[in-house]
Amino acid sequence: MRYEIKGEPLPVLIAYLDAGESMMCQKGAMSWMTPNMTMSTGTGGIGKAFGKMFSGESMFQNTYTAQGGPGMIAFAASVPGSIIPFDISQGDMIVQKGGYLASEMSVEFSIAFQKKIGAGFFGGEGFIMQRLHGNGMAFAEIDGYVVQYDLQAGQEMIIDTGYLAAMSGTCTMDFRKVGGIGNSLFGGEGFFNTVVTGPGKIYLQTMPKNQLAASLSIVNT
pLDDT in tens, 30-84: 999 999 999 999 865 545 555 555 545 556 789 999 999 999 999 999 889 999 9
pLDDT computed for residue 116 by the predictor = 55
CA distances from 123 to 78, 149, 158, 200, 215 (A): 25, 19, 10, 19, 22
Provide the pLDDT for residue 137: 98
Confidence (pLDDT) at 50: 54
What pLDDT, on a 0 to 100 scale, did the predictor assign at position 38? 98
Provide the residue range defining the domain that includes 137: 2-220
For the chain, what is the domain count? 1
| C-beta of residue 148 within 8 angstroms of C-beta of residue 94 | no
Taking a C-beta distance cutoff of 8 angstroms, is the pair 16, 72 a contact? Answer: yes
Q: Is the pLDDT of residue 104 over 60?
A: yes
Mean pLDDT, the chain, integer:
83
On the question of pLDDT at 15 being above 80, the answer is: yes
How far apart CA 193 and CA 161 sit, in angstroms, is: 6
| Close Cβ partners of 70 (under 8 Å, ≥ 6 residues apart) | 16, 17, 18, 19
CATH classification of the domain holding 124: 3.60.160.10
Q: What is the CA radius of gyration of the chain?
A: 18
Is the predicted pLDDT of residue 215 greater than 90, yes or no?
no
- Give the tens place of pLDDT for each residue, 115-164: 555 544 554 445 578 999 999 999 999 999 999 999 999 999 999 978 99
Three-class HEC string of 16-74: EECCCCEEEEECCCEEEECCCEEEEEECCCHHHHHHHHHCCCCCCEEEEEECCCCEEEE
pLDDT exceeds cutoff 50 at 95 = yes
Percent of the chain with pLDDT over 70: 74
Query: pTM for the full model?
Result: 0.82
